[in-house]
Amino acid sequence: MLVQEIVDRVTTGRGLASLVLILVGVFLAEALLSAVQSYLLGRTGETVVLHLRRSMVGRLIRWPIATHDRHRTGDLLSRVGADTGAVRTAMANSLSEIVSGTIVAAGSLVIMAVLDPILLALTLGCLLVAVVAIGLVSVRIMIVTMTAQRSLGAVVAGLERALRAVRTVKLSQAEDREDTALRRDLDATYDAGVRQAKLESLLLPATAIAVQGALVLVLAVGGARLATGDLEAGTLIAFLLYLFTLVVPMTGLFAAFTDLQAGRAAFHRVRQVLDEPGDETATPPRRPAGSCTPDTPAVTMAGVSFGYPGREPVLQELSLQLPEFSCTALVGPSGAGKSTVLALLSTLYVPTAGTVELFGRDLGSMGVSESRTLVGYVEQDSPVMAGTVLDNLTYAAPHSTSDDIDRVLELTNLTGFVSRLPDGLRTEVGDGGALLSGGERQRIAVARMLLKHPRLLMLDESTSQMDPENERLLVRTIAGLRAECTTLVVAHRLSTVQDADRIVVLDRGRIVAAGRHTELLRESPLYVHMVRAQFITADA
């Protein structure tokens, strides 16, 4: 409208100073509003992504183990990093472009409607063709983008897998094979990116053709009407200027719309993480809590069955009781279900049938947090995390006192080891405990659980990497814990299990024998076979 007035004043010889000042003010205000809008939308995008990442991290940490088993760690890392970054781009850049583009385009269209509705109708007809074409392309862009994000997740997962086992990779001389596999995933990511670029390359031509078509129609129809006196020259010039003004916001809107499709693809992968239930919602159905009396067993498993998805059942109608303050050993061939029993008692998995009680209460009535407070579980390959020795010792009991720490160091024969370290308890152990020996890692893992003061302590092959002296000391420690807690030990070495109050023999998910060592030597052929075949060894 200002342009039309300027043209009219020029043709009539009137002054322009006031209009020029107004025009400059409009441009400055537009620039300022654009800067403020860009900042606010950028900050909003960062805030949204921060909340997404916090939610994802919180959910991933609380996923049940069964859910983690179905996903590759590297792909999950890619979702937290790359996918949320794509959402941020869509939020900050695309929404900013949509808001500013919509305001400018709407303003231009309103003024164009005031200037000449007929020319506006011709313009909208041309733009509608571009909108339909770009709408079809954007659907394809979303599909291709999702493929690219999945491929990138595969790259990160493959690299994480190789780096986690980098020593095995080198000792197996598998560098070239890992490199080739990663290159395949990288090539797939590249191919998806190229397909996305091809689709996006159609946006600018589609917009340009639509605008140029509108320009031709406006010039033709407007020129004809100008010749007949039906349209003033100032109106036609102003309309053309607004048509040119419309090019930039429309191009930005179309590009932003396709970026939003890419953001939707990334957000879909984010939602898959957030939609998975956490540990607390993955517990068995709640039942009334039992009452704990002096005669109540520490553990009662009744008719428990369990199987991993797509595999044969690991446990079949297993029933087991552990008296409180007793020491029970689980033995059996590989794959008999020993570690699975420990995993169920620690609520890492949920039985497919049967009930599990701790100290007279059903696990479902206790909830995950409460039950794990009662249980200390030293896994077969219990990890030592990057950080200091102290960080690892106090990981399950962060408020432990110095006296508590000194006590468990003595119990696990770690006092001398710690005193020889350059920085004592503050010594870094490396990624995954790489700077420690296997036996040292195992003793730290045992000490970590002892600091927790559990009512039920479970040890899964926790002496397999110890030398005979440290194993003997740990066995003595376990025996001394009978007065403090119930212990359940999975082991293959005779020295670890022969002094247990009760030895339970598992085979193919069922209990086939139970008793003391001397009783089983008389009554259980499988136990005798394992001893003779040194599946249980007497070398310590």
Secondary structure (DSSP) of 123-152: HHHHHHHHHHHHHHHHHHHHHHHHHHHHHH
319's enclosing H/E stretch is strand 313-322
Statement to judge: residues 256 and 330 lie in one domain: no
Give the chain's mean pLDDT. Answer: 84
From 279, 310, 325, give the residue that closes a domain.
279
Statement to judge: residues 241 and 377 lie in one domain: no
In a domain, 539, yes or no: no
Output the pLDDT for position 278.
Answer: 79
Total-model pTM? 0.73
Output the pLDDT for position 537.
Answer: 47
Range of the domain at 49: 2-279
Statement to judge: residues 273 and 315 lie in one domain: no
Statement to judge: residues 472 and 357 lie in one domain: yes
- Of 224-233, 254-263, 388-397, highest mean pLDDT: 388-397
| Half-sphere exposure in the Cβ direction for 52 (13 Å, CA) | 25
Q: How confident is the model at residue 540 (pLDDT cuts 50, 70, 90)?
A: very low
Cα 434–chain centre separation: 25
Q: Which residues contact 155 (CB under 8 A, 6 or more apart)?
A: 74, 78, 182, 185, 186, 189
Statement to judge: residues 257 and 325 lie in one domain: no
**What's the mean pLDDT in 38-64?**
87
- For residue 203, give both structure tokens: 């946006």
Output the pLDDT for position 281.
Answer: 46
Output the pLDDT for position 376.
Answer: 92
Statement to judge: residues 243 and 343 lie in one domain: no
Q: What is the CATH number of the domain that holds 243?
A: 1.20.1560.10
DSSP letter assigned to residue 385: -
In a domain, 383, yes or no: yes
Number of domains in the chain: 2
Q: How confident is the model at residue 22 (pLDDT cuts 50, 70, 90)?
A: confident
Alpha carbon distance 205, 255 (integer Å): 12
355's enclosing H/E stretch is strand 353-358
In a domain, 540, yes or no: no
Output the pLDDT for position 534.
Answer: 63
In a domain, 286, yes or no: no
Output the pLDDT for position 55.
Answer: 93
> What end-to-end distance do the CA atoms of the chain give, in Å?
96
In a domain, 292, yes or no: no
From 279, 314, 348, give the residue that closes a domain.
279
Alpha carbon distance 354, 352 (integer Å): 7
Instruction: Quickly count: other Cβ atoms within 10 Å of residue 461's Cβ.
Output: 20
Statement to judge: residues 275 and 303 lie in one domain: no
From 220, 250, 279, give the residue that closes a domain.
279
Statement to judge: residues 47 and 84 lie in one domain: yes
- Among 4-13, 57-66, 331-340, name the one with the lowest average pLDDT: 4-13
- For residue 488, give both structure tokens: 């359940």
Output the pLDDT for position 6.
Answer: 61
Statement to judge: residues 459 and 316 lie in one domain: yes
In a domain, 290, yes or no: no
pLDDT tens per residue, range 372-406:
899 999 988 778 888 999 999 999 999 999 999 99
**What's the mean pLDDT in 295-314?**
90
Higher pLDDT, 154 or 245: 154
pLDDT tens per residue, range 180-195:
999 999 999 999 989 9
**What's the mean pLDDT in 333-358?**
92
- For residue 149, give both structure tokens: 């994000």
- pLDDT over 90 at 413, yes or no: no
In a domain, 449, yes or no: yes
pLDDT tens per residue, range 317-332:
999 999 999 999 999 9
**What's the mean pLDDT in 108-133?**
86
Alpha carbon distance 228, 221 (integer Å): 11
Alpha carbon distance 410, 7 (integer Å): 94
DSSP letter assigned to residue 286: P
- Among 9-23, 54-68, 177-191, name the one with the lowest average pLDDT: 9-23
Statement to judge: residues 122 and 234 lie in one domain: yes
Closest Cα partner for 445 from 348, 400, 379, 369? 379
In a domain, 538, yes or no: no
CB-based burial label for 271 (10 Å; 0-12, 13-18, 19+): middle
Q: What is the CATH number of the domain that holds 479?
A: 3.40.50.300
Statement to judge: residues 329 and 180 lie in one domain: no
Closest Cα partner for 116 from 274, 224, 278? 224
Q: How confident is the model at residue 539 (pLDDT cuts 50, 70, 90)?
A: very low
Percent of all residues in the chain with a pLDDT value above 70, rounded to a whole number: 92
Statement to judge: residues 262 and 321 lie in one domain: no
